[in-house]
Structure formats: structure tokens, C-alpha cells
Amino acid sequence: MNQPNIPLYPNGTLLTVGTHRALIKKYLTSGGFAQIYAVEITPVDTYSKSNVACLKRVIVPTKSGLNTLRAEVDAMKLLKNNRHVVSYIDSNAVKSAFNNGSYEVLLLMEYCEGGGLIDFMNSRLQNRLSEAEILNILSQTAQGVANMHALQPVLLHRDIKIENVLRSGNGEFKLCDFGSVCGYIRPPRNQQELSYVQHDILKNTTAQYRCPEMLDLYRGLPIDEKSDIWALGVFLYKLCYYTTPFEKTGENAILHSKFQYPAFPIYSDRLKNLIRVMLSENPTKRPNICELLEEISSIQGVPCPIQNFYLIRAQQLANQIQLQRQTTVPKIATAQPIQQLNARTQTMPIINTKANTSLVTPITVPVLSENTRLPALELDIKVPQFSPSLDKDMYMKLHPFQKSGTLLTPSKTASVSPIRRYISRSPSRDNTNYDIQRRRTSQYDHDQNQSNYMGRSLSRTSSIKSTSALSFEGNLQGNNTGDSFAQKFTNKIKRVVTGESRNASPIRSRQDTGGSVRSAFGAIRGAFTGSMRAPSLDNNTNNSMHNNSNNNTSRNSSYGRHNIITNPIKEEDSRNMTKAKLAKRHTMPPGMLYDLENLEIENEGYHASEYYRSHSPTKPFVTKTTRDNIQQRVQNLLSESEQPMERNNIDTHHTNAVSHSMIPRNLNSREKDSLRYSSVVINPLEDIGSSPKKAPPLPFKPHHLRPKPPPKPTYLSKMFSKERISSTATEQLVTLDVDTLERDFRKRFPSTLENR
């Protein structure tokens, strides 16, 4: 849309804008599409209580242009009365008196006396912004963005940049220019859609702020909230260094997120790391807006200004599933409560950063509405603060979120950010900084603890701001043993879905390194499809709550075997699932997996992943046949590893650590050890059959240098006098006659037994 050359309104011009009258006081500037004026309005704006406002005048040459303007106005209406969004006051559209057939749109909004952020930055060319100032600006801008991302369906800004942040008279920063807003953009499914999306992106975004998935649509990734996070990353970089990270390097650098930090000015590693994670090439590795705000607040040492609405939604979803399960029988009863639930909104408290910390401003979180877009942060009811005087029964009746809301502690502790779990203190350009290994110790209870994690790569799966602030009902009762949120969340969801108690849940192991919010969703999906996650995938360990059959397995764990607790009923299923998952993991870029899986589910059989895999210029070309081959190979590997093998057949390609059952009996202990601990990285893409690598021949060890085996207990020498104990023999050990054992024990420790 090009701005036609039209004369400016002279000062003193009186206009009618919707229900307001506006008197032109001063022409301010012209944007790419608009003239901007300071005006005096009557009646005064109810939100700002001011009679000074800003008038944006846009000439729209065509009707389609009018639609674009309508989208901007609608977005502003949705985001009205938010502290960090330029607030909408009124608007109208009239036929233009200057250009035949064109329209003139007048948009009244809150006046930002402080001008643009760009002006503020220009005033600090010599004395660059301090880290505190940068964090303050970023936090306020991110809060504006959070208002958009909290909407359902989500609203993307798509043009976050320095130029689109303004400063109010009292120094607050506000997001403006909603002319590019849109919803989630699914990956285009054909060439036509692709051209359309490409054109739309070129038109509505700013080159330096475009994310990799916008530049390379063949990646088959959706354009979602993470594209705004990328733009915020560029925004943050520019706040620090007054230039964008890809200013000189261009598109190729954006595609692979290659950038450097200038030596000056000097900022903390933590801030630099924040830039790094926000500019992750893989959108799933970028924090969401809530996680971002949690981290910013943590660095600032203030409470996080918002609650993590993504988690709240997940909890609501879990609640709905529980409700659905409870009301499934009889079937007729299900429809009504679920519909009612969908139409409802849940009020959540939100803490204002700058306001008195005791003040709890409720945030309305829309509950899974299907078509309606609901405003995110409307003022609604207040949630009572929990105090000892609060009636316990009343507290128990509260919604779980209200309960957790009552436990919000606006102390420094609450500001501890879980994002630190996955942000390494030392900046690195490697995206693999996200260590998916879960930390087992208590990490985020205390500010002090934060220092313990300096320099460590921590899990990003835990994305809740603090256990005290957001923990679910069940978790509030237990002490925080350091299990990450993801684990608790997975357990919670699983319990919600299956109705089983925490103790009985097989996914409670501390060594469950696979737990994540995603796995929780997997559980939800499992509930929908009727297939819960395979227990063996959870890599559970010894669990005293398990039944006797499991105890045998867990006991084995002390002998260095994998601590996988298998469910005898589903063992076969779970093994198949493991194989399939392994095969799939090996054939796809990990970041794409989840999106593509979802995409295919959404598109009901439309194999978008196939399409994009075969068209992507940046990803290796993996056809279905190749993938099948790989899957086949991985399956072969798995089945081979289950077979006992002779030494000559042992292919160290196949395994990292050779299992006991694979070690032939006729080897001496040294040979066995060297086999057991030989570590070779599996490369599933390598053609296994073509070049089998054999274990290097072991050097001969003279007999006198070999360690002498310890003397065998008498009962063993009787029963297995000729053969060494095999792995199967351990089972027979357990079935040994008690009398024999006691006799042997008495012989070895006579006094102990006699004292009894």
C-alpha cells in the first residue's frame, strides 16, 4: 500500500472519529503509510484519563487495503488497555475527499509523548544503554508481545522492531504498529500457498528481523509465536549493539543463525546467552514469551510480571480430559459440560512488576475456545489471597489455579527463572547448548541455587517459573525434591489422564530423562488415541512401589543393566514403539519431528513432512524409501542386539556398551571387560553391511599377571562346580534353598547368627 501524496491537516482542524471529536494540535511525523498527529479529544479517554491523543491518518487506495487497516484496528481493540501496548481509543473510515475511490482511515490512540524508542537510542549514541536499561525496555516490550501471544487463537505481531516501540510520557515502553498482525501460519502445502505466504512475509515483515523459517519456507515449519521471539532477539541485539546481528552477513547467516557479538559495549554472559537462545535456528529451541519474561525478570531480580499461560492452558487441557473421562459414561452426558467449559474463561492473577507487589491483577486466560478470539488480559474477578485465616474448606473448593495463585509469593524467590535450566552461562554459538539431560538436584528453589548452575547447560523442558508460584495442587503437597517441572508435569498429566495415583505411576523415576512438557502432551494425545506412552520409553529405574515382577528388574539395575521397567502386558507393544521411535528419530531433524507429526495429524494423512523433506534446499534429501531402509536397519540392530552372539560376530558398530548377554563365555575377564566397555558411536545412516568394523584384537596377558578369582562360596562350588555363573544362573541363585544359604552364612559368620 503506497501512501498517496495528500496534504496535511492544518492545526486547528476539527474531525469526528467514531464517538470522539478530535482537534488537530500538531503534525508529528509520517510513517510508511500514515500521517501522525497529536490531537485533543472529547470526551477524554477513559483508560489514560487524558484528553491528548494520537491520530493516525491512513489513505487507503483500494478496498482490500481497507481490510488490512481493519485487521490493525481489530488487533488494537483486542489489545486495548494494556500497559505495554499503545492503547486504542476510537476509529472510523470515510471515503477520501482527495482521491477518487480511495478511503481515509482515522485511528485514535494513546499518545506517546516520549516519542519512539529509536529517538531514545539516538539520544544515547555516546553513552550507550546500560544492561539494566536494556532489560527494562526488553521486558516491557515482551509484556506487550505476551498480550498478543496469550490470545486464542494466537496473534503474531510480525513486525517487532526498534521503530515500533514508543515511549509514554512517564517513560514506559509500548508496542505499536499492528499493521502486520496475523494468526498462526501453517506450512504451505503446495506451490500456490507457498508463493502466497512468501509474498505476505515480504510485505509484512522487516528483512533484518525475519526468522529462518520465514526465509526458508521449504523447511515446512509453521510461522508461529517463535517468529516474534526471533524478532525480539534481533531487537535485543540492536538495543545492545545499535546494529542488527545479520546486518552485514545477510540471509545465509540468518538461515543458520550465524552472528557474533561486538566487543563493545560489554554485557553479561547471561544477557548474551539470552540473545543466543532467542536466535536459535530451530524455533522449538527458542523460549516462548513466558519463559523469556521469566528469564528477564530473573536477571533483573524482580518477580516475573506474568504467569506462564502456556502451562495454564496445558493444565486446563488436562482438566478437560479428566472431566471428559469422568463423563464419558454414559455418553449423552459428555457433550454439555465440555461445551460449557469451552465457552468459559478462567481468571488468573498476574503480578504487575512495578506496582505494589501485594496487588494481584487478574489475567483472563481463555479456555480452549474453538473459533472465538478472546482478549487475553481482561480485568475480571480478583482471586483471594491465601492466608492462614482463609477457611480451609473454601480453599479446597478453589480451582487448582486459584489455589496456586493464592500461593504466589512476590518475593525474590519467585523471580527465579527456569529458563536458566537450559541457558548456559557461557555464551556459545552452538544450539546444542540445550542439554536435554534433566538435572536431578533441586535447582530453582532459591536464588542462591542459581549460582550453582553457572556455566552449566540445563534442561529446557522445565518451563515453569517457580514451584511455589505455579505448582499444581498435587505438587504443592510434596516437598520440592528437585524433580524438574517437566517430570512433575508429566506425572501430573499422566495421573490426570489415567486416574492413577502418583505412587503407582511408572513415570516417576528420577532417572526419567525423557520427561518434558512435550511428553506430557504425548500423554494427552495418548489419552485421546487410547495408547499411552510405552512404559519402556521412560527409562524408569528401581521403584519400590512396583510389584514383585518389576522388583526383579530393578534389582538388576545394581548390576549395571539398563533400568527399564517393563510392563509385562504391553512389553511387545512398547518394544515395537521403541523401535519405531528410534527409527524415526534417526531419520529426521529433531526440531522438525514434533511440528511435522502434528502437522500430519492436523492434515489427516496429508504427508507434509514428506513433501517438505523432499523439497527442502537446506535439509538432506531423505526419501520415504531411504527412511524405510533406515528404519529397517535400526530394527535389525535392535533385534540383533537381543541375540546372544559369538565373539567373531560382535560388531562394535552396533552398540555403545555390549550387554552381558552378548559376551561369549569362553573369553577371559579382561577380554570381556574390553568388549563390555568398548564404545563406538552408532551411525544409523552408515551402511552397516558394507564395512563391518571388528573389535581390535586383544593383547595376550600372561597367566601369572591375571587376577585370581575370589574363592567361591561352598554352595556355589557344589552347584556350579564346573561352569562359571552365567547371567541365567543369577535367577537360579534367588531360588536357592534357604537352608543351604543359612548354613553357608553360619559357617562364614557364626557369631552373628548365634547372637540372634
Closest distance to ligand ATP from the beta carbon of 598 (Å): 33
Query: DSSP 3-state assignment of 351?
Result: strand
Give the residue from 571, 494, 562 showing the smallest Cα distance to 534. 571
Under 8 Å between Cβ of 106 and 17:
yes
β-strands 88-95, 34-42 pairing? unpaired
Binding-site size for ligand ATP (CB under 6 A) equals: 20
Cell triple for 593: 519431528
| Interface residue with ligand ATP, options 1, 36, 66, 93 (CB under 6 A) | 36
Region of 33-41, 400-408, 623-631, 667-675 interacting with ligand ATP (CB under 6 A): 33-41
CB atoms within 10 A of CB 591: 17
Q: Which of 60, 75, 112, 299 binds ligand ATP (CB under 6 A)?
A: 112
> Does residue 177 interact with ligand ATP by CB under 6 A?
yes
Residue choice 32, 153, 171, 499 for contact with ligand ATP (CB under 6 A):
32
Of 179 and 418, nearer to ligand ATP (C-beta) is 179
Which region, judged by CB under 6 A, interacts with ligand ATP, from 29-37, 292-300, 352-360, 523-531?
A: 29-37
Among 1, 21, 25, 31, binds ligand ATP (CB under 6 A): 31
Contact 42, 21 (CB under 8 A): yes
Q: How many CB atoms lie within 10 A of CB 592?
A: 20
Of the candidates 45, 74, 119, 159, the residue annotated as catalytic is: 159
Which residue, 2 or 340, has its beta carbon nearer to ligand ATP? 2
Q: How far is the CB of 137 from ligand ATP (least distance, A)?
A: 16
Q: Running DSSP on this structure, what letter comes out for residue 163? A: G
* Residue among 56 and 508 whose Cβ is closer to ligand ATP: 56
If the CB atoms of residues 206 and 511 are measured against ligand ATP, the closer one turns out to be: 206
Instruction: Indicate if the alpha-carbon torsion angle 276, 282, 285, 287 is positive or negative.
Output: positive
| Residue nearest to ligand ATP as judged by C-beta position | 31
CB of 170 to ligand ATP, least distance (A): 14
169 binds ligand ATP (CB under 6 A): no
Could you tell me the end-to-end alpha-carbon distance of the chain, in angstroms, rounded to an integer?
95
The candidate with the shortest Cα–Cα distance to 280, out of 353, 215, 230, is 230
Out of 111, 230, 241, 444, which residue is the one contacting ligand ATP (CB under 6 A)?
111
Closest to ligand ATP by CB, 86 vs 383, is 86
Segment lying near ligand ATP (by CB under 6 A), choices 104-112, 695-703, 707-715, 745-753: 104-112
Q: Minimum distance from CB of 119 to ligand ATP (Å)?
A: 7
The 3-class SS string of 77-117 reads HHCCCCCCECCEEEEEEEECCCCCCCEEEEEEEECCCCEEH
Q: Which of 1, 6, 23, 28 binds ligand ATP (CB under 6 A)?
A: 28
> Minimum CB separation from ligand ATP for residue 242, in Å?
17
Question: Looking up cell 553513552, which residue turns up?
Answer: 127
In angstroms, what is the minimal distance from the CB of 422 to ligand ATP?
34
287 three-class SS: coil
CB 61 within 8 A of CB 33: no
Q: What is the DSSP string of 665-716?
A: TTS-HHHHHHHHT------TTS-TTT-PPBPPPPPP--GGGSPPPPPPPHHH
Judged by beta carbon, residue 111 or residue 489, the one nearer ligand ATP is 111
Rounded Cα distance, 535 and 523, in Å: 11
Residues 257 and 160: beta-carbon distance below 8 Å: no
Residue among 15 and 419 whose Cβ is closer to ligand ATP? 15
Peptide bond into 265 cis (omega under 30): yes
Contact with ligand ATP (CB under 6 A) among 41, 166, 314, 416: 166
CB of 30 to ligand ATP, least distance (A): 7
**566, 574 contact by CB (below 8 A):** yes
Give the CA angle between residues 13, 15, 19 to the nearest 5°. Answer: 155
Residue 307, CB-side half-sphere exposure with 13 Å CA sphere: 34
Q: Which stretch binds ligand ATP (CB under 6 A): 111-119, 473-481, 518-526, 555-563?
A: 111-119
Choosing from 24, 33, 90, 280, the residue that interacts with ligand ATP (CB under 6 A) is 33
Active site residue 483: no
Q: How far apart are CA 241 and CA 239, in angstroms?
A: 6
Q: Is 650 helix (H, G, I), strand (E, B) or coil?
A: coil
Q: Does residue 209 interact with ligand ATP by CB under 6 A?
A: no
Closest separation in Å from C-beta 181 to ligand ATP: 12
Cis, peptide link before residue 589, omega less than 30° from 0? no
Which region, judged by CB under 6 A, interacts with ligand ATP, from 24-32, 305-313, 602-610, 727-735? 24-32
Residues 53-92 that bind ligand ATP (CB under 6 A): 54, 56, 86
Q: CA 598, 602, 606: angle at the middle one, nearest 5? A: 100
**Dihedral of alpha carbons 258, 263, 265, 269, sign:** positive
Strand blocks (E) in 141-256: 165-167, 173-175
Which C-beta is closer to ligand ATP: that of 179 or that of 514? 179
Per CB under 6 A, the segment of 61-69, 103-111, 281-289, 366-374 that binds ligand ATP is 103-111
Query: What torsion, rounded to 10 degrees, do the Cα atoms 320, 323, 325, 327 define?
Result: -140
> Does residue 116 belong to the site contacting ligand ATP (CB under 6 A)?
yes
In order, the DSSP letters of 237-281 are HHHHHSS-TTTTT-HHHHHTT-----SSS---HHHHHHHHHHT-S
Question: Residue 539 to residues 472, 535, 637: CA-CA distances in angstroms?
Answer: 24, 8, 19
- Stretch near ligand ATP under the rule CB under 6 A, chosen from 32-40, 265-273, 428-436, 553-561: 32-40
Least CB distance from residue 116 to ligand ATP, whole Å?
4
Distance of closest approach, residue 450 Cβ to ligand ATP, in angstroms: 38
Q: How far is the CB of 248 from ligand ATP (least distance, A)?
A: 23
Taking CB under 6 A as the binding criterion, the range among 26-34, 190-198, 348-356, 463-471 that sits at the site for ligand ATP is 26-34
Instruction: Find the binder of ligand ATP among 109, 155, 351, 592 (CB under 6 A).
Output: 109
Among 16, 29, 669, 714, binds ligand ATP (CB under 6 A): 29
Among the residue ranges 28-36, 239-247, 402-410, 626-634, the one whose residues contact ligand ATP (CB under 6 A): 28-36
Q: Work out how close the CB of 283 gets to ligand ATP at its nearest, in angstroms, rounded to a whole number.
A: 25
> Which x/- pattern, by CB under 6 A, does the window 697-716 give for ligand ATP?
--------------------
Residue closer to ligand ATP by CB (options 176, 350) is 176
Nearer to ligand ATP, 55 or 292 (CB): 55
Grid cell in block for residue 384: 483471594
Site for ligand ATP (CB under 6 A): which residue of 41, 176, 214, 255? 176
The yes or no reply on residue 312 touching ligand ATP (CB under 6 A) is no
How many whole angstroms separate alpha carbon 182 and alpha carbon 179?
Answer: 9
Beta strands in 472-565 (DSSP E): none
Q: Which positions are annotated as active-site residues?
A: 159
Residues in contact with ligand ATP by the rule CB under 6 A: 28-29, 31-34, 36, 54, 56, 86, 109-112, 116, 163, 166, 176-177, 179
